[in-house]
Structures are given as structure tokens and as C-alpha cells.
Amino acid sequence: MSGTVILVHPRRFGDDRGWFTECYNKQKFEPLGIDCEFVQDNHSLSVPAGTLRGLHFQTPPFAQDKLVRCIRGKIFDVAVDIRKGSPTYGEWVGVELSAENGDQLLVPAGYAHGFVTLEDNTEVTYKVSNYYAPDNDAGLMWNDKDIGIDWPLAGGAEPVLSGKDTKHPALAEFDSPFAYDGNPMKLVEIEP
């Protein structure tokens, strides 16, 4: 399902003690289009609400598929199509992921990824299909007008950014190394 951004709604089984869920099960996820091999798990803590991380990706041959979930707090998670020649090039989709809803977002290679925290002390974990490669670490400007992401920042406040995230190029300055695979971007929801 290349080109497909997948919103996963894992089922929770609960009782008076709480709940249980399978966050990832290769046998269940593969037939639903999540057939990448994950090799690394990442975990971030963002203390202030309004922390924005992105828009990030790794270039080939170290491109990464990401399966993102929020384990504490709440985020607005975004994927931007950066596959050269795609009819949806530069378009984005965004969803709310939270500890409460338990949803996850698959962001395929060929997409820039970013999120903004909507609550203090938010933690995000994500599986990736390739190891971190500093020389292939890249990004796009979070507020690029050509992309036009509608970030839900309280009262139009400026986000809390890393120094690195203030220096990424705009989409118009970017020569994408990602090829279009014939599948325009779409958001698909699944429940494994």
C-alpha cells in the first residue's frame, strides 16, 4: 500500500482494572498494508504544549517508514507527500493521536513527518524501518506556505522548536530524492 498513510485503531480489551491492547502484531498488520520490517523504536518527551517536531525524514537509501503513537498526552500528527511526480506532492494529512484514543499513524517512506504537542509532558513512540543515519537526516520548514499545514497552536502562538527545525528548506527549494510509485496519497483507516 505504498503511498498510503494508514490510521490504525487498535482494539482495547478492558475491565475494571484498565485495558490491554496489541500495539503491533506483524501477522495482523501485514495483510492490512503495514508490511515493513521495523528495526528501531524511538521515544520522545516534549515538556511544553506547543512543542513542534518536524517536518523530518531520512533520504534513500536510509528512508524510513514510521509507525507513530502517543503514549502520554496528545499530538496533532502530520504526513506530507514529498514523492517527486506525485499528483499529491506537497499535500498533507493530519490526525490527532493521544494516549486516550490509542490510535497510531503509519507514515511511509517518501513522506515528511511532524507533530505538535497539544498537552504538556507528551510522550511519543514510533517504530522505524531503517536505522538512524545522520548524513541522511533531512527536513522541510514546518510553516512552509506552499504546504500550508493548519497547525492547531493555541491562540496562534509560536511553537517551541529545536534550532535544527528553524533551518530546514522550503518545499520549493527541495529536490526530492523520492520517486512517485503510482499511488497518490490517501489516508486509510484500519482496525486490526
* pLDDT of residue 1 exceeding 60: no
* Secondary element (H or E) of residue 137: strand 137-139
Residue 122 contacts residue 52 (beta carbons within 8 Å): no
Q: What value does the mean pLDDT of the chain take?
A: 95
Query: Residue 147's pLDDT is what?
Result: 98
Catalytic status, residue 168: no
Neighbours of 48 (CB within 10 A): 12
Give how far Cα 3 sits from Cα of 12, 26, 83, 86, 124, Å.
28, 20, 9, 9, 23
Query: Residue 8's pLDDT is what?
Result: 93
Q: Which of 111, 113, 126, 168 is catalytic?
A: 126
Query: Residue 2's pLDDT is what?
Result: 65
Q: Which of 9, 24, 43, 56 is catalytic?
A: 56
* pLDDT of residue 144 exceeding 80: yes
Catalytic status, residue 126: yes
* pLDDT of residue 29 exceeding 70: yes
